[in-house]
Structure 1
């Protein structure tokens, strides 16, 4: 297989052997799993074999637990008795066949006798639902989801405009919201706002709500906090009917440590799913780490991806914690300042192989699926095709850009904004690889940090957002909020992401009910009434965000290949560039209006002005004139204009 990745990035030439090894490991593992002519989609079918399977006149249950001596299926359907003993099968599998129909609605666990004669109870590894019991542990729940799908997944030609959302915090009430309520109340907002893709967080079952869904216990179970499996199916079906694609925030980088709820010590051994010893522990996250070198683990994780595509009809995945997977030290404290750090003994080549297999499987099942890698290290080839020597993701997240904005707002003055550095941050990325740009995601909103709007407005957001109020702090906050989002949207990637509510400057941070905050829901909700109130300026920011997204809808801006910087001057804080058919002109100066003359051979048509009154500005104040193939501009401080070049 040719290493076309070297054509994209010649600086990788010294690491040609490492890149060849990447392809060899992938091909060798694939042949080991599939033989000569097998397909990954046929291999990744664990959910059709393990767990509960309803046959015509009986049902079977199978579990993989090679370290156990004996096994029983127990639950409230048999009064937790030992009368359903499983038989040992090949490869460490256990199975039982029971006549009749599945006892749907019953609580269930697998009871194991371990090698040390200890008796333990485990939630089945392929359980489709898990519920907390009176001991604050999880029980499996036997379910047989039956939903009649009404809509096909949309075939969108637009770049992904992603609305990152969390079901539980999507209500304004002090409670955990539901799939059904999200479907009825939030989906219409997302559609109206102009987004075409939803990224759902915290769907895979997790015991600790405050983990934001990133400490998964039950990989095949949709979180019961928000409703039933059918409720989630209805939500995705409704989204498809609205023309919205739905991505799952999938967590295959680690698993919760809880014993009994999830996979840790499932059959009494530490090595069933995870690495032995320190390599199996993520010390910073206090979680367990998968052994991607085991065929059974690959089977489990790949089957999990196929399950979410097949059963729930998700349209792709955002892979969480990819950096942690790629390196044995998880990238903690490592500055990736030279290419050698990507191809060292620290690189977990088995994890790289798994990610390649995962991407091939996903696109084999659903060719138009979207896969996104959360990798802050900048691993070369992450979003290049496997055939070119890449890892196969469609996009990588532009993770350095939110950090740039937070640093600018937290540590520097407005007049110190370095436009040269900003341009480099927004436009420099791996050759040939697509990115998802964003100014902030849920990461920037977590307790201990603040959203961009809170860094800009601070306490003034509570008492000066009325349209009748006069506040220089709020004026600055609204102006910069728009400029930051517009320049990030237009330059930072071939797709765009926003976290739920941040489009209108949702106040405060995110914090889940926990002992440290007296189990408060104060910061675990979304205050939609703020954007619905016509007397508040939050609505102006929402109008601006909607108009900004229309640049992609009308002009296919994000994937436009043509990008020309026309003017950049740090002293005046002026920046102008043309991307595709659109001209962008920014004045980042905190106090001064600025003039600019640009040579243009074609007449410009004003698309919108950030200073427009409907966007919370004070316009019309900016002016422009085109004559003799020259555009003369006057821009007020902290404003931008967008033109179509005809």
Structure 2
């Protein structure tokens, strides 16, 4: 291969324009043959540097041996012979602005040393994927009319090797995770950020390696193997991705070339007040190209089926977490971050154009309009949005003593006002079981029996509601302590009947959700949901119908008190015999075993504006699912 410009004129144009979404093919360290010589091509963006060199174990970490040449747009590049995969390196950057000198990790490195070491590692991304069948059909498995049930986990604390309490590698975890997720019935896993991060206690949300999987669990090929294995087992993989902020570690992106290159120069825009981290300058074209490229990289090289975009609300508002006078209004005098809005819209357009089989999911905690609506109608362009309102209202309601719940019934039915304004995912995530918030089970009031009954009710209510589902590890069997990233999930609890019963309940909920089209097909459309009675606050009961496009339906009734209700009338759309598909109070789940003896015949007795009704036994703290059919 003859020598020539590695960074092309087109690269420079697109990078400067803020529309280069494949920078990982040019910047960073790439094995290459030049004039018959094998080596590595290095390229790094440092426009305010007076000198840049590559140093590493191959040159004794000497700053003067391998200088790079400055090109247009401030990209420094050079070819170093005889340097190959496995080489440890950094860039030395001298700023022309203030003579500041610093050693930096490569922002585009594909691999890094195991923390607390901070150097980058030359790495090729060769891998023979075996998931072609999955890739061909995955779009239909994460669409709005598909059953999408997500198991969220942190790789370092899902399971650990008992002998020395170490985390499992990407390869070690693959078969165990696939077996467990299959048994539990989830359709997808969502991994807390696997991108390289120096502080393990950040759970991956303080990223320094936007193109490097953390080396704590293995190599890039090891992570590819994990994704590949899950795909072959029919399980989708969603990656948590963080374009909202980054840490100020010296080897990372902060003050990269002696200036605020990736972050804002104005501290009122630069510093995140809550997380003590730095905020990307979304108005800078080169920074946008960097982030677009990072997003597409994980979809391209790691076959991710979706990206959950963290902390979108913090990006959208200039005053997020700030007091009056500590933020700068936009050009119209408002609090909206117009640069971030443009960035997110362009991001989603890139993703869906280049990878039409995936979804982006926004963690957005405010009422920003049309987060999951297309850009061409004025939306942000995400595929889904987390319903934080449902999560907060439901957890607050279920934490109350049942005797007081009738006074807070609105926390249950308020969602009807906005349930279809977005394509929602209903999350019971990691954020709700840390920092003193306690586990899901421990949030529930009263004695142990009622705690488990309440948690079964909460999870049943989650699956009954319109929207896709997400549950953080441990919640599926009732972990007692809150999540600890330094310890494994409390697997020993599964040997006890209440915990095993809860796990069986979640597994059966997932089966029902997948098998019954009325439970998922119209998750994001108003026509898929119909109230029977949203306002029975005196009894703290909700009843409603889930529907599919063919006219099929499931009747759902939730009793949010520990009072068994015999002879409770529920209006139904059609007469007939209704089979009790699931009852959270069944003995196999740890309940009392009270119910409707498998089903009920309808009565010609008007109720709830319908000519027919069912006379039901509502078990205590329960949810039941019924379907019209043959005896």
TM-score by length of 2: 0.86
Q: Are 1:609 and 2:579 matched, yes or no?
A: no
Name the CA shift for 1:77/1:577 in 2 (closer, same or farther; >3 Å): same
Aligned mates of 2:58, 2:158 — CA distance in 1: 36
Deviations 1:56-114 (A, max 9, x none): 344311000011111110100121122111011111110111234x4211210001122
Aligned mates of 1:571, 1:344 — CA distance in 2: 47
- Alignment-derived partner of residue 575 in structure 1: 542
Alpha carbons 1:110, 1:124 under 8 Å: kept = yes
Name the CA shift for 1:613/1:411 in 2 (closer, same or farther; >3 Å): closer
- Alignment-derived partner of residue 313 in structure 1: 303
Aligned mates of 1:559, 1:303 — CA distance in 2: 33
Aligned mates of 2:13, 2:335 — CA distance in 1: 25
Shift of 1:374: 0.6
Aligned mates of 2:509, 2:585 — CA distance in 1: 13
Q: Are 1:584 and 2:556 matched, yes or no?
A: yes
Alpha carbons 2:31, 2:84 under 8 Å: kept = no
Q: Which moved more, 1:631-640 or 1:287-296?
A: 631-640
Local SS of the residue matching 1:60: strand
Alpha carbons 1:52, 1:60 under 8 Å: kept = yes
1:558 to 506, 520, 525: 520
Q: Are 1:543 and 2:534 matched, yes or no?
A: no
2:195 to 184, 189, 204: 204
Name the CA shift for 1:543/1:408 in 2 (closer, same or farther; >3 Å): same
Q: Would you say how many aligned residue pairs link Structure 1 and Structure 2?
A: 573
Local SS of the residue matching 2:113: strand
- Alignment-derived partner of residue 267 in structure 2: 277
Local SS of the residue matching 2:627: strand
Which residues in structure 2 correspond to 1:383-462 (within 5 Å)? 383-410=372-399, 413-418=402-407, 420-429=409-418, 431-438=420-427, 440-456=428-444
Alpha carbons 2:483, 2:489 under 8 Å: kept = no
Alpha carbons 1:380, 1:430 under 8 Å: kept = no
Q: Which runs of 5 or more residues in structure 1 are unaligned?
A: 1-31, 335-339, 458-471, 513-520
Local SS of the residue matching 2:542: strand
Alpha carbons 1:309, 1:315 under 8 Å: kept = yes
Aligned mates of 1:74, 1:355 — CA distance in 2: 36
- Alignment-derived partner of residue 457 in structure 2: 483
Alpha carbons 1:51, 1:61 under 8 Å: kept = yes
Local SS of the residue matching 1:318: strand
Q: Which runs of 5 or more residues in structure 2 are unaligned?
A: 1-11, 548-552, 605-612
Local SS of the residue matching 1:400: helix
Which residues in structure 2 correspond to 1:215-230 (within 5 Å)? 215-230=206-221
Q: Which moved more, 1:143-152 or 1:236-245?
A: 143-152
Name the CA shift for 1:633/1:536 in 2 (closer, same or farther; >3 Å): closer
- Alignment-derived partner of residue 376 in structure 1: 365
1:61 to 42, 50, 65: 42
Local SS of the residue matching 2:119: strand
Local SS of the residue matching 1:632: strand
- Alignment-derived partner of residue 53 in structure 2: 72
Deviations 1:572-592 (A, max 9, x none): 222211111100112222234
Deviations 1:111-137 (A, max 9, x none): 11222333310001101112247xx44
Shift of 1:637: 1.8
Aligned mates of 1:598, 1:178 — CA distance in 2: 52
Q: Are 1:170 and 2:158 matched, yes or no?
A: yes
Aligned mates of 1:415, 1:550 — CA distance in 2: 33
Name the CA shift for 1:571/1:374 in 2 (closer, same or farther; >3 Å): same
Shift of 1:620: 4.3
Shift of 1:251: 0.2
Q: Are 1:473 and 2:464 matched, yes or no?
A: no
Deviations 1:403-442 (A, max 9, x none): 223323556555424574134344332654210013x210
Shift of 1:33: 7.6
Shift of 1:271: 3.6
Local SS of the residue matching 1:487: helix
- Alignment-derived partner of residue 277 in structure 2: 287
- Alignment-derived partner of residue 9 in structure 1: none
Deviations 1:472-495 (A, max 9, x none): 81210111111111112221x421
Aligned mates of 2:233, 2:32 — CA distance in 1: 36
Name the CA shift for 1:511/1:527 in 2 (closer, same or farther; >3 Å): closer
Aligned mates of 2:69, 2:50 — CA distance in 1: 10
Shift of 1:272: 4.2
Q: Are 1:98 and 2:98 matched, yes or no?
A: no
Aligned mates of 1:437, 1:234 — CA distance in 2: 29
Q: Which moved more, 1:548-557 or 1:369-378?
A: 548-557
Q: Are 1:626 and 2:604 matched, yes or no?
A: no
Name the CA shift for 1:333/1:619 in 2 (closer, same or farther; >3 Å): farther
Shift of 1:558: 2.8
- Alignment-derived partner of residue 46 in structure 1: 23
Aligned mates of 1:78, 1:364 — CA distance in 2: 43
